[in-house]
Amino acid sequence: MKKLILFILGAFLIASCSNDVKNIPSSYVGKKLTPTGWAEGILEAGQVDLGTANSNGTYTNLVLLEASTVTIKEQFLKLDPTDKQDHRVKTLDNTPLMVDIRIQVAIPEDEKVRDAIFATITPTATADAKTSIITVQDVYNKFAQPIIRSKVREIFSMYKDNDDVMTHFKVINAEISTMILKAVKDSKAPFTVLNAELSNVQEDPVILASKTKLIAAANEVKAIEQVGAAIRSNPYYLEARRLDVLETIGATSKSNLVVMDTKGSTSFVLPTTTTTTITPITK
């Protein structure tokens, strides 16, 4: 009778301790991390039985690895909110540029490569205490980001200024693509680069606005110089300009204007809707 009671009690305890079942989403693979280390094998998308917690409170975790193709955005912006530093690239004449690069990355299907990723990268915790995750971005950041960012800066520093960069945009794009492929290969990073290209180059808005003002000022000076040259070559051009201005004034004035030249030899009226007459004093 006593053995029967113990058997029933044991069966009840087993039945009351339900196993913890987790789900591996599509485009992810997983691996069990037990209290004694990694379990064998890579788990594909689907449900995974993690079992129950041990009597000492330890339990098996599920670590997810993003296994889809991902586009990494490598950006060189004016201010990084995480460290408050200026991360723009600079040209040979020290012109700061904001740059966007797109790198298409894929995690290989080779099980040994994936095992190496699980073994070398610390996963990020999720809302589920028994599930953590490793993203493609995590893999890229650890194995390739520092060297790629450094090499990108070197490439832009070889070009004189923004105009030089834009003139050689296609050349720079090819240089960056080749550099990234080589950097990933040399670092033996556990991912494949499918494509890498220069997406956008933008001059700092403040500098761009200053350059726009300088161009506008230069154009204004050029226009003044052209007027001056016309006056020097033909003095009657100045008289024509004066009459154009007076005509414009007459069109907007509220009074009739009687205009006489300095010798009083000629006069004309610029009509308006009123009858008031203004006669300039002649010398």
Residue 271 placed within a domain:
yes
Residue 47 placed within a domain:
no
- Do 85 and 176 sit in the same domain of this protein? yes
pLDDT band at 261; cut points 50, 70, 90: low
pLDDT for residue 61 is more than 70: yes
pLDDT at 14: 46
Q: What are the tokens at 244? A: 């154009």
- Do 152 and 75 sit in the same domain of this protein? yes
Residue 90 placed within a domain:
yes
pLDDT for residue 265 is more than 80: no
| Tally of CA atoms within 13 A in the half-sphere of 281 that contains its CB | 1
Residue 127 placed within a domain:
no
Q: What are the tokens at 114? A: 């994936």
Residue 97 placed within a domain:
yes
Which residue from 21, 26, 237, 11 is spatially nearest to 131, judged by alpha carbons?
Answer: 21
Which of 144-153, 171-180, 269-278 has the least mean pLDDT?
Answer: 269-278
- Do 148 and 197 sit in the same domain of this protein? yes
Residue 99 placed within a domain:
yes
Mean pLDDT of all residues in 173-189: 94
- Do 96 and 175 sit in the same domain of this protein? yes
Q: Which residues pair with 62 in a beta bridge?
A: 32, 131
Mean pLDDT of all residues in 157-164: 94
Mean pLDDT of all residues in 31-58: 91
- Residues 84-111 have pLDDT tens digits of 788 899 999 998 999 999 999 999 999 9
Number of domains in the chain: 2
pLDDT band at 54; cut points 50, 70, 90: confident
Rounded Cα–Cα distance for residues 62 and 48 (Å): 8
- Do 97 and 190 sit in the same domain of this protein? yes
**Last residue within a domain, chosen from 182, 203, 224:** 203
Q: What is the maximal distance between C-alpha atoms in the chain?
A: 141
- Do 143 and 257 sit in the same domain of this protein? no
pLDDT at 86: 81
- Do 192 and 238 sit in the same domain of this protein? no
Enclosing domain of residue 261: 234-283
β-bridge pairing 267-270 and 96-106:
unpaired
- Do 197 and 141 sit in the same domain of this protein? yes
Which of 18-22, 45-49, 233-237 has the least mean pLDDT?
Answer: 233-237
- Do 144 and 240 sit in the same domain of this protein? no
Residue 189 placed within a domain:
yes
Q: Where are the alpha helices (DSSP H) in the chain?
A: 2-16, 111-120, 136-143, 145-156, 162-167, 169-186, 205-233, 236-252
- Do 80 and 144 sit in the same domain of this protein? yes
pLDDT for residue 11 is more than 50: no
Look up the CATH number of the domain holding residue 87.
3.30.479.30
pLDDT at 71: 96
Residue 274 placed within a domain:
yes
Mean model confidence pLDDT for the chain: 81
pLDDT for residue 150 is more than 80: yes
Rounded Cα–Cα distance for residues 281 and 277 (Å): 13
pLDDT for residue 4 is more than 60: no
- Residues 204-253 have pLDDT tens digits of 766 655 555 556 666 666 766 776 776 677 776 767 777 677 677 767 76
Mean pLDDT of all residues in 168-182: 96
DSSP state of 104: E
- Do 144 and 90 sit in the same domain of this protein? yes
- Residues 111-148 have pLDDT tens digits of 999 999 999 999 999 999 899 999 999 999 999 999 99
Which of 61-70, 78-87, 240-249, 254-263 has the least mean pLDDT?
Answer: 254-263
- Do 195 and 244 sit in the same domain of this protein? no
